[in-house]
């Protein structure tokens, strides 16, 4: 590689890293946190004995899982203004990603709750716990451990999916790469550098996931 190529890589590294720190990571964290709250509610609705509640949750999950994330993002940012609802780029991205995470994570949480032996419910009822208290004190903590690996994978996928926010003008890692590439005309170089940064971020997250799983396994073993 020529000296000018190296200089471009070095000069663009910090703007890309800044885009990741100020845009990609906060967008992923906020969307994932909101999505988890939504997912828990949907999972409990799916497990509800009330058919209409379960039906609403099932329909929502089916729509989210059956449509592309990019389409969901465009409906919120470009579609809603046609009916008078205008949302800025960043909130639009958070809403779209949160709704998407909620649809996928709901099934993960539901499966984790169902994986807890029924004897745990029975034991909680025998010591006088209500259904809600048993759920919060006994069932959900056990379900949380089971759901860590798939939810961690969902978060890592979300980090990569935040690149779609560049299409609605949200300034994040890939948007920064697009702007620098448009100015320098070095599209391949900048996009590969962005890909490398995404890869490093995902490696760090995967390493953290592994350590968390090992710690939880040790806790359960004792």
pTM greater than 0.85 (yes/no): yes
Instruction: Tell me what percent of the residues of the chain surpass a pLDDT of 70.
Output: 97
Confidence bin at 36 (pLDDT 50/70/90): very high
Query: Does pLDDT of 145 surpass 90?
Result: no
Does residue 12 contact residue 190 with C-beta atoms inside 8 Å?
yes
Across the range 76-99, mean pLDDT stands at 96
Q: Would you state the torsion angle of the CA atoms of residues 126, 131, 134, 135, taken in this order, to the nearest 10 degrees?
A: 150
Task: Report pLDDT digits (tens) over 2-21.
Answer: 777 788 888 899 999 999 99
From 41-45, 136-140, 152-156, 188-192, the region with the lowest mean pLDDT: 136-140
User: What is the spatial distance between Cα 132 and Cα 199, in angstroms, rounded to a whole number?
Assistant: 41
User: What is the spatial distance between Cα 80 and Cα 99, in angstroms, rounded to a whole number?
Assistant: 15
Query: Does pLDDT of 218 surpass 70?
Result: no
Q: What is the largest CA-CA distance in the chain?
A: 74
Does residue 7 contact residue 156 with C-beta atoms inside 8 Å?
no
3-state secondary structure of 46: helix
**Count of positions (residues) in the chain:** 222
């Amino acid at each position: 590689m020529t000296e000018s190529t190296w200089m471009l890589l070095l000069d663009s590294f910090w703007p890309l890293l800044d885009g990741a720190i100020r845009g990609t990571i906060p967008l992923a964290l906020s969307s994932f946190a909101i999505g988890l709250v939504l997912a828990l509610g949907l999972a409990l609705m799916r497990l509800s004995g009330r058919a209409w509640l379960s039906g609403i949750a099932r329909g929502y999950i089916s729509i989210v899982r059956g449509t592309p994330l990019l389409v969901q993002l465009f409906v919120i940012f470009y579609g809603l203004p046609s009916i008078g609802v205008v949302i800025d780029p960043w909130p639009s991205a958070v809403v779209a990603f949160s709704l998407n995470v909620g649809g996928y994570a709901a099934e993960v949480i539901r499966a984790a709750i169902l994986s807890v032996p029924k004897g745990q419910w029975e034991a909680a009822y025998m010591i006088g716990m209500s259904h809600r208290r048993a759920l919060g004190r006994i069932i959900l903590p056990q379900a949380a451990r089971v759901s860590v690996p798939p939810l961690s994978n969902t978060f890592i996928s979300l980090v990569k999916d935040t690149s779609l926010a560049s299409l609605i003008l949200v300034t994040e890692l890939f948007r920064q790469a697009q702007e620098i590439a448009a100015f320098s005309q070095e599209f391949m170089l900048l996009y590969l550098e962005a890909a490398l940064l995404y890869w490093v971020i995902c490696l760090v997250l995967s390493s953290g996931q592994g350590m968390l799983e090992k710690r939880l396994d040790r806790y359960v073993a004792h």
